[in-house]
């Protein structure tokens, strides 16, 4: 074989080695990026004792705490029903797992894929005096139910002069991004509802809060929208009271005392520009 042929072979092998090396580096970079996306925050557990003596504790993640809350709600209120897309087998995020087996198909059941219908049915159930726990499978799909929630549920008590209300209605929905949900499984629509008089919007920060706040919503005399951050379902773990307890709605917890204006001055790296008119 000529020297030119040997040079070509060596050059070809060198190019192949470089390609393989670049692929390995790219793969490693993708793995690192994926790991970063999957752990973009650190969950700091709550302590049950901070909320008083709430009885025996059990380690639960967020979806198990929500399951426990709905279990208690169904056990303590014979009029309570739980419904939504796929809740019968436990739901996409397993929040209702085991509840249909325990309470039967008459009280825990699937609905058609119709968010407007789910919300409308929940309003009717609550107006008739039963406790409605409705699930919208993803908060991104709550928009077809927007009219029912904003124009009907929120205004029912006001427009009837307090003769009727649908306060025994709670609508649950997983919200927020987890890094791979794309446009229709990553949205956070709470701001739309937070500006609506007549609705209470609740987002828990962890399992202890989720269980206590969900039970408060279910028993609240006003309609509530309970949004559950998907990223916390399995990553957030607390020692949660096993028994029945509620936490107050509309009351803030002071986690860190301090002067926020001083914090902003110290951490803001740029000046505010003077407006030009």
Catalytic residue numbers, as ranges: 115, 185
**Cβ atoms 133, 80 nearer than 8 A:** yes
Alpha helices in the chain (DSSP H): 3-38, 62-76, 99-103, 115-127, 146-147, 156-159, 190-194, 207-219, 232-235, 260-267
C-alpha distances out from residue 249 to 52, 121, 214, 275, Å: 16, 25, 10, 40
Give the residue among 44, 54, 46 at the shortest CA–CA distance from 242.
Answer: 54
**Cβ atoms 125, 132 nearer than 8 A:** yes
Mapped onto helix, strand or coil, the DSSP state of residue 277 is coil
Mapped onto helix, strand or coil, the DSSP state of residue 133 is strand
**Cβ atoms 79, 130 nearer than 8 A:** yes
Ramachandran bin of 270, using left for φ above 0, alpha for ψ from -120 to 50, beta for the remaining angles: beta
Residue carrying structure tokens 């306060």:
167
In Å, how far from its chain's centre is CA 225? 11
**Cβ atoms 82, 111 nearer than 8 A:** no
Say how far apart CA 25 and CA 30 lie, in whole Å.
9
């Amino acid at each position: 074989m000529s020297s030119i042929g040997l040079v070509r072979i060596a050059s070809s092998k060198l190019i192949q080695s470089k390609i393989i090396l670049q692929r390995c580096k790219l793969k490693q970079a993708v793995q690192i990026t994926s790991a970063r996306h999957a752990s973009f925050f650190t969950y700091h557990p709550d302590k049950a004792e901070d909320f008083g003596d709430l009885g025996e504790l059990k380690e639960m993640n967020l979806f198990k705490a929500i399951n426990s809350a709905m279990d208690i709600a169904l056990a303590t209120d014979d009029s309570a029903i739980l419904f939504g897309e796929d809740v019968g087998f436990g739901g996409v995020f397993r929040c209702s797992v085991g509840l249909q087996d325990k309470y039967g198909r008459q009280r825990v059941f699937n609905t058609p894929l119709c968010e407007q219908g789910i919300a409308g049915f929940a309003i009717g159930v609550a107006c008739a005096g039963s406790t409605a726990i409705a699930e919208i499978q993803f908060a991104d799909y709550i928009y077809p139910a927007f009219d029912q929630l904003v124009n009907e549920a929120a205004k029912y008590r006001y427009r009837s002069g307090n003769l009727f209300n649908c306060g025994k209605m709670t609508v649950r929905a997983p919200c927020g991004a987890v890094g791979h949900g794309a446009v229709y499984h990553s949205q956070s629509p709470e701001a739309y509802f937070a500006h609506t008089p007549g609705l209470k919007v609740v987002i828990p920060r962890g399992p202890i809060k989720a269980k206590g706040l969900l039970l408060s919503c279910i028993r609240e005399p006003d309609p509530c929208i309970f949004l559950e951050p998907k990223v916390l379902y399995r990553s957030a773990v607390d020692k949660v009271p096993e028994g029945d307890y509620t936490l107050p709605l509309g009351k803030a917890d002071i986690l860190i005392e301090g002067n926020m204006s001083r914090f902003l001055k110290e951490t803001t790296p740029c000046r505010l520009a003077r407006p030009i008119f």
